[in-house]
Structure 1
Amino acid sequence: MLLWNLEARDLTLRYTWKISRNASDVKTNLFVTVGDGRAQGRGEAAPNVRYGETPQLLREQFQTLQAQGLDQVATVEELQQLLQQREVLPALRFALESALVHYLCQKNNQTVPQFLGVQPVASAPTAYSYPIMDPGKIAAFTKEHGLHRFEYLKVKVNQESGLDMMAEVAKAAPQRLMVDANEAWQDPDALMRFFEGLRKFPIIMIEQPMPSALQEEYLYLKKHSPYDLFADESVTDHADWDLLQQQFHGVNMKLMKAGGYLNGLSILNKTRAVGLKTMIGCMMETSMGIWSALQLAHGVDLLDLDGMLIVKDEPFKLVREEAGRLYPVAQP
């Protein structure tokens, strides 16, 4: 019998994290531990209100799973069977599955890439994101956080200040830029006007500029966009792949949305199979979640795994960042 435990931690952020739909200074994440007294594994859940997730709801779902026989689970297959019987949100599913995988790997003296059948990475570059802020503060923010060390940067934007922010970022930093609107636009023609204003900047891609529900608008946008469009909110733990390849040029897979290593790997493989570019992103996570994302990073086109760098006093130190690259240090 395995012993499962769930604990919550309040994570204070280095600064206000603002995107087009909300802002926060503290995030509450949940951490699953599973073990048998000899081996142990840990996993992280970063609840996201965009997908109906709250710490309290995930805690209640964990308690229900315990009552339904979670302590009898010994394999990933058994865990999947249990999760199929109950409504369990993706962030908690990922925490449970990753904790069990880490436990099994420690128990069997196996690495996570070996368990998953993927190539390991010794290190990988990550983007670093600017939250939405007063454009006049961008130069000081860039200097304070040493953002010149990153290979590429990501800018969170909204309709009101997006172009002003992009202009200030381009002045402050010479790197190539990713633009993330978090569904801020409704009108594709207004968005095309925004794209026209970006032509002077070194843009890599645009991430989810309109709500995922605007399917026809995305079909139109892809035909006219001068930039690669990457799906984020349009891909959760499932996707309409025939539609996606007509709407986007790439997919941002996040393990917290995918609900587990196995489904995350499946999403990456399906993305490649339909001819789209791959990206791995993150929520506001500690190095525990970021470590897991790095296990799938081999051959991925873009990585945006800066969540742990925004957490003040990051508690686990499982990943080290140096010169804009991430190095896995120890298994959760």
Structure 2
Amino acid sequence: MQLSLKKYTLSLKHTFRISREAHDKQDTLVVGLSLNGKTGYGEATTNPYYKISIESMIAEITAVEGDLATFDFTTPEVLHAFLISKALSNFAICALDLAAHDLYGKLEGKPLHKIWKTNIDNYPITNYTIGLASIDEMVAKMKETPWPIYKIKLGTDNDVAIIKALRKHTDATFRIDANCAWSAKEAIFNAPLLKDLGVEFLEQPLKADDWEGMEQVMHQSVLPVIADESCIEETDVEKCALHFSGINIKLTKCGGLTPALRMIKKARALGLKVMVGCMTESTVGISAIAQLLPQLDYVDMDGAMLLNDDIAQGVVISSGGKVIFPALGGSGVTMNS
């Protein structure tokens, strides 16, 4: 396989702020894998929380470029196992794994959801994320993009008051993501107030390693609680089953579609709800997530919707959340430049 790497800097429509950071731009790495006249594309963004940079990913991937050039590509799963053996980071593996899946589907002439024999007649609608800002700014963002489900980023001293204020302007379902900013006491206290305000669930209210606190929340919260920072890779799923109602799988964190498919299966066996989430990423990554839609309870795949300009074409999310799947095989990705 022939490898290509290209860095992009994605420009956001609005400052994206969560409890621990804020940014107006997002660096991302797009990987291309070419074979027999077809090219598959994958993506992984930088992330300071997980200490991932463009430079670190490029160094990891170029270190195995020679191996990829002579690799006998049969399935994405075989390539993923090889990459694991080379001890690459999950972010670098994700970019390669998504490219491998896109390539595989293009070689087969089928979208991934058809290869997996799933039905796209029914699928969950993505939420649209409202980052932390002043209440006026958050309301303005909702009015700019009317949507049936909003994920609201919180993590302040006035979180319930924020939701009360936002609720005056929409009947949409709310999902709350505190990004590890609350204590167990706060989560348990806030839950009934938020439920009365039309909140569907809480996402990662406590620090990722506060398992004792999450056990309290799990048993006392009137709202379901979904793991994000506490569920990074496959080995975390079973532990999360004792402390959460469901898991949010991020392809970049777990290492791509290959482990995500196994995580979905494991979560189902444990009775967990399943969500897949995105980073601030382009249509390259979002199109891969979309292939999983029929297997999910919830999805957060609005990353490309938050950008001023996209870098690729693939899955299209229309007004109200309807997804238009490309006929092109794999994830259906083509690059704009």
The residue that corresponds to 2:228 in the other structure is 232
Which whole-Å deviations, capped at 9, do the CAs of 1:208-232 have from their partners, x for residues lacking one? 0001101111111111001000011
Q: 1:12 to 1:201 in 2, by over 3 A?
A: same
Asked whether 1:106 is paired with 2:91, we answer no
Distance 1:28 1:108, change over 3 A: same
Q: How does 1:1-332 map to 2 (within 5 A)?
A: 2-36=1-35, 38-67=37-66, 69-73=67-71, 74-75=73-74, 76-120=76-120, 124-143=124-143, 145-147=144-146, 150-185=147-182, 187-325=183-321, 326-329=323-326, 330=328, 331-332=332-333
Could you tell me how far apart the structure 2 residues matched to 1:94 and 1:36 are?
A: 19
After TM superposition, give the deviation of residue 70 of structure 1 in Å: 1.8
Identity %: 24
Q: Partners of 2:254 and 2:266 in 1: how far apart?
A: 13
Residue 207 to residue 123, structure 1, CA distance change in 2 (3 Å) = closer
Normalised TM-score (structure 2) = 0.91
Measured in 2, the distance between the counterparts of 1:231 and 1:244 equals: 7
Tell me, in whole angstroms, the C-alpha distance in 1 between the residues paired with 2:142 and 2:111.
Answer: 37
Q: Secondary structure at the match of 2:168?
A: helix
Structure 1: segments with no counterpart, 5+ residues = none
Task: State whether residues 237 and 263 of structure 2, in contact with CA within 8 Å, keep that contact through their aligned partners in structure 1.
Answer: no
Counterpart of 1:134, as a letter, is S
Using the alignment, how far apart are the partners of 1:55 and 1:116 within structure 2?
31
Q: Which runs of 5+ in 2 are unaligned?
A: none
The 1:47/1:220 distance shift into structure 2, 3 A limit, reads same
TM-fit CA distance, 1:40: 1.2
- Partner of 1:190, secondary structure, is helix
**Separation of aligned partners in 1, 2:213 and 2:105:** 45
Q: 1:146 to 1:114 in 2, by over 3 A?
A: closer
| Equivalent position SS for 2:6 | strand
TM superposition shift of 1:151: 2.2
Alpha-carbon distance in 2 for matches of 1:291, 1:174: 28
Normalising by the residue count of structure 1, what TM-score does the alignment of the two structures yield?
0.92
Q: How far is 1:120 from its partner?
A: 4.0
In the alignment, the residues of structure 1 paired with residue 162 and residue 270 of structure 2 have an alpha-carbon distance, to the nearest angstrom, of 34
- 1:219-256 per-residue CA deviation (whole Å, 9 max, x = no partner) reads 11111001000011111122344432221111111212
